[in-house]
Chains A and B, each alone.
Chain A
Amino acid sequence: MSWLLLFAASTMAGPGSADWRADVQVAVEACATDRAPCDRLADLTIRVTRAGWNRIIDDRIADPALLPLLLDALLREPDPDMQVPYAEALGRLLPGADPRWGVAFAEIASTHPSAAVRRHLIQGFRRAPLQVASPGLRAALAHEDLETRSDAARVMGGHEQAASFVPDLRGSLADPSPPVRASAARALGWAGDPSVFGDLTPMLADPDPSVRLYAVMSLGKLDPARAKGVVAPLVDDPARDVARLAERLTR
């Protein structure tokens, strides 16, 4: 690649081709002529949060030139504990990133071997444009790992266009894993589509208390008056949280 091409690639705001890995590589190689972005990346402040995991706390991550370099750093990093700060920072960059990087985010969020990495990127989709969020969240919702599916369902419900995900979430109510069903039930309440009321009602009989809890919560959110009668039997639910919420709703 000529010096001219390298320079052009390094100044682009987003990927220059359909293969995002090639675009990441172009950005990395561009450091041969202009080290500034790579130096900034190396100089980013990574701290241990109070919770004990590493986080990049540095205004300089807002620099668009750092995004492909962060992707590269994430993919090259062998230490799972150090993958987390890159993934978490990318999750924060995701909502404002050039939508053309969406393919990269979707792929990493649904294929990276680390559940923590997938989780942080999935979180980033919550405030991303629908066109960026949809492919990534839908791929994650089909992941074999139940926590990834649960994260995807949860984030779908928090998206500003959560209603777009209602069909996906309806399907997840039948997921074999209770955390996924619970996340889907919760997300359907957040999505605010009253047509799912009937889909949620059977979830009140789910054997898992967290599913029943979020079903009660969502039914109350979607139609408080109608929910009163439906959740009334759950005031005697063996799970204290469920009973308390049902009682509150029927009051």
Chain B
Amino acid sequence: MRRGGAWLAAALSLAACKGSGSDRVASEALQVSTPVVIGIANIDDDAGKGGRDWRHEDPDDPDLSRFTVTPGRSAQPTRFVRLALDLPAGQRMRVYHDGAMVLDHQTTEVLLPPAREPFELAVEFRSFNQEGALTIQEFGLSDAPHSEITVPLKTGPLLLSHHLQPSEYVTAMDVDLYWPNPKFVAGYEASLGSLFETVPGSAYDYDVWMQDAVQVGYQTAPGGLRVDVVIDSIRGRGLADYATDVLAGPDVAVEMWGEGEANTLDSFGNLEVSPPVEGFPFGRIYYGGRPGFMPVATELFDFLEQQEIQAPFVIDTSWLCVAHVDEIMAFIPDSSAPRGFRLVFTDTDLAWQILDDMPPQTLLSRYDGPANHNYTDVAEMVADLGLRNLNDEIQALHLDPILAQLTDELDLADDEIIRIPGLFEEACGSLVAALIPGMANLYVANQPDRTRLFLADPFVRTDLKKQDDDPFIHAVADALPNELELVFLDDWETYHLGLGEVHCGTNGIRTPTTDWWTIEGGLE
């Protein structure tokens, strides 16, 4: 991996500083304070005027990339300075000088009065993955510049966060009516305190699927520039306005790619990112689908694909009723793991092992009755041959191949995989959903001093208040790293019976941990 000095040298070779012709008499050439001007898309609303700041052409906007130009020292007096902006077709940037916009895609050249002292230029970028160049020339008496320098201008990619990044903000819906979730919210509040905030259900039609509504990414640049980019799903439903109502504002932009009538794959429980792996220092995006059944918002997935940096791959989730990747797996931090993380993956065989070892007469009060899953006790569940056949088949035809694919795509070693028990049942025709609340459908909240996993309480026990009695909880706690704090939340009525679990009902913002421009290939 190339860092710091090496890329600097490479960039400096791009920012060629040269004298020209007979004017090569400058004792000291024109200089700029950075070899590459790296910026962020100015798409948030620092100005508080509504919409993107880019629209307001504000030279004082905090998201501009500023750098200093130091005039050369020449035997000839400088008569004027020429700035020239070179932009590929369709790209938009602006250059500001002395409190005014001087260059954009229409005005690509400007002459400035000569400067004796260093002066500041600021560059504003409209979007992601932009590349341009600014040439600064000093002219003396001749027609040729006696000194010039060309500075590449660049914005980075839109990066999606992964589970190793620290949590800055965690949120879920507060549901006080119809299908209330007081224990779920209380569990988060007790563990996370001020890190956790609720969204009122009444404001968003009690659409509890916070994970599905938005996906939070980010863009960063030197000098502490950062914009959190909330990708607003085309999914619509109750939370359609949540991103713009609650999240949009200073340093947080809301963007939407694609249009049309969404299918379930357009929800962002179906858009996740692995931790960093070889060749992908920001992880890899994965989402569910299969040929003939893909997200409607192709613009979004094409855009993510074209960025290459988090190279997305598709997992076949078409066998699941909801068809989201978060239903079966999650990545968790683990400092003792070879690469600092492990994959938590659902395994039906483990679930049967636990159930087969349980006293058959164990009453399963949460599962009892037609409003739940119609299983009175463990005996009834283990005797259901159809259920066993179904889960054996899911393991063989779906889970095992997906795990093999993940192993291949992410170069996972066996000891990087933690299998945890889970069972499915047919929930919409032949498609399945979690029978036992899906514990791999978990939310990671990590802070420097502690990392907590929030998982669904499986309720495979008689006394609902005694989590210590639950063999599934014991199995999961034994399998997961000791350094993690596990919080098993009651998501039964509000989430589980609605075909989702803890991760589906939670969202948040994470801190970028690595500067993309310091990574090998980041500036290419």
Residues of A bordering B, CB below 8 Å:
45, 47-53, 55, 57-62, 89, 92-93, 95-96, 119, 123, 126-127, 150-151, 154, 157-160, 162, 186, 189-190, 192, 213, 217, 221, 241, 244-245, 248
11 A-B contact pairs sorted by A residue (CB < 8 Å): A45-B179, A50-B499, A51-B433, A51-B499, A60-B371, A62-B371, A95-B370, A119-B428, A150-B430, A186-B393, A245-B397
Smallest beta-carbon distance A28→chain B, Å: 21
Indicate if the CB atoms of A49 and B498 lie closer than 8 Å.
yes
Interface residues of B in 379-437 (CB under 8 A from A): 383-387, 389-390, 393, 396-397, 401, 426, 428-430, 433
Indicate if the CB atoms of B321 and A51 lie closer than 8 Å.
yes
Indicate if the CB atoms of B322 and A160 lie closer than 8 Å.
no
Indicate if the CB atoms of A55 and B389 lie closer than 8 Å.
no
Inter-chain CA distance A242–B210, complex, in Å, is: 38
Inter-chain CA distance A51–B319, complex, in Å, is: 13
Inter-chain CA distance A221–B324, complex, in Å, is: 29
Name the residue of chain A whose CB is nearest to the CB of B428.
A51
Indicate if the CB atoms of B371 and A61 lie closer than 8 Å.
yes
Name the residue of chain A whose CB is nearest to the CB of B238.
A48
Indicate if the CB atoms of B385 and A160 lie closer than 8 Å.
yes
Inter-chain CA distance A230–B376, complex, in Å, is: 41
Smallest beta-carbon distance A39→chain B, Å: 17
Instruction: Answer whether A52 and B389 are a contact pair too, CB < 8 Å, given A45-B178, A92-B370.
Output: no
Inter-chain CA distance A47–B384, complex, in Å, is: 28
Instruction: Answer whether A160 and B430 are a contact pair too, CB < 8 Å, given A57-B497, A62-B369.
Output: no
Instruction: Answer whether A52 and B264 are a contact pair too, CB < 8 Å, given A62-B371, A244-B401.
Output: yes
Question: Which residues from B are CB-within-8-Å of A55?
Answer: 497-499
Indicate if the CB atoms of A96 and B370 lie closer than 8 Å.
yes
Indicate if the CB atoms of B178 and A119 lie closer than 8 Å.
no
Inter-chain CA distance A87–B384, complex, in Å, is: 23
Inter-chain CA distance A47–B269, complex, in Å, is: 19
Name the residue of chain A whose CB is nearest to the CB of B324.
A50
Interface residues of B in 171-193 (CB under 8 A from A): 178-179
- Specify the main secondary structure of chain A where it touches its partner: helix
Indicate if the CB atoms of A158 and B390 lie closer than 8 Å.
yes
Question: Which residues from A are CB-within-8-Å of B387?
Answer: 158
Pick the contact of A158 from B383, B386, B498 — CB < 8 Å? B386
Pick the contact of B374 from A50, A127, A150, A241 — CB < 8 Å? A127
Instruction: Answer whether A217 and B393 are a contact pair too, CB < 8 Å, given A61-B370, A62-B369, A190-B386.
Output: yes
Is B253 in contact with chain A by the CB < 8 A criterion? no
Question: Which residues from B are CB-within-8-Å of A60?
Answer: 371
Indicate if the CB atoms of A50 and B322 lie closer than 8 Å.
yes
Question: Which residues from B are CB-within-8-Å of A162?
Answer: 385-386
Q: Give B267-280 as 1s and 0s: 1 = Cβ < 8 Å from A's Cβ atoms.
A: 10100000000000
Residues of B bordering A, CB below 8 Å:
178-179, 206-207, 209, 212, 237, 264, 267, 269, 321-324, 369-371, 374, 383-387, 389-390, 393, 396-397, 401, 426, 428-430, 433, 493, 497-500, 504
Smallest beta-carbon distance A128→chain B, Å: 11
Indicate if the CB atoms of B178 and A47 lie closer than 8 Å.
yes
Indicate if the CB atoms of A157 and B386 lie closer than 8 Å.
yes
Question: Which residues from B are CB-within-8-Å of A127?
Answer: 374, 384, 386
Smallest beta-carbon distance B20→chain A, Å: 61
Name the residue of chain A whose CB is nearest to the CB of B267.
A50
Question: Which residues from A are CB-within-8-Å of B429?
Answer: 119, 123, 151
Considering residues A92, A150, A192, which has the most beta carbons from chain B within 10 angstroms of its beta carbon?
A: A92
Given A57-B371, A127-B384, list of 4 further CB < 8 A pairs?
Answer: A50-B324, A159-B386, A160-B385, A241-B401
Indicate if the CB atoms of B397 and A241 lie closer than 8 Å.
yes
Pick the contact of B179 from A47, A51, A159 — CB < 8 Å? A47
Inter-chain CA distance A119–B430, complex, in Å, is: 9
Question: Which residues from A are CB-within-8-Å of B493?
Answer: 57
Pick the contact of A49 from B370, B397, B401, B499 — CB < 8 Å? B499
Instruction: Answer whether A57 and B386 are a contact pair too, CB < 8 Å, given A96-B374, A127-B374, A217-B396.
Output: no
Smallest beta-carbon distance A213→chain B, Å: 8
Question: Which residues from A are CB-within-8-Å of B426?
Answer: 123, 126, 158
Indicate if the CB atoms of A126 and B498 lie closer than 8 Å.
no
Pick the contact of A50 from B179, B396, B498 — CB < 8 Å? B498
Question: Which residues from A are CB-within-8-Å of B207?
Answer: 48
Question: Which residues from B are CB-within-8-Å of A126?
Answer: 386, 426
Question: Which residues from B are CB-within-8-Å of A123?
Answer: 426, 429
Question: Which residues from B are CB-within-8-Å of A154?
Answer: 430
Smallest beta-carbon distance A206→chain B, Å: 17
Instruction: Answer whether A58 and B374 are a contact pair too, CB < 8 Å, given A45-B178, A50-B499.
Output: no
Inter-chain CA distance A159–B428, complex, in Å, is: 17
Indicate if the CB atoms of A48 and B237 lie closer than 8 Å.
yes
Instruction: Answer whether A158 and B371 are a contact pair too, CB < 8 Å, given A48-B237, A50-B499, A50-B500.
Output: no
Indicate if the CB atoms of B401 and A53 lie closer than 8 Å.
no
Inter-chain CA distance A89–B401, complex, in Å, is: 33
Inter-chain CA distance A171–B326, complex, in Å, is: 40
What 3 A-B pairs have minimum CB-CB distances, sorted nearest first? A158-B386, A50-B500, A92-B370
Question: Which residues from A are CB-within-8-Å of B179?
Answer: 45, 47, 57
Smallest beta-carbon distance B209→chain A, Å: 5
Smallest beta-carbon distance B489→chain A, Å: 16
Question: Which residues from A are CB-within-8-Å of B499?
Answer: 49-51, 55
Smallest beta-carbon distance A68→chain B, Å: 15
Smallest beta-carbon distance B324→chain A, Å: 8
Instruction: Answer whether A93 and B393 are a contact pair too, CB < 8 Å, given A190-B386, A244-B401.
Output: no
Smallest beta-carbon distance B313→chain A, Å: 16
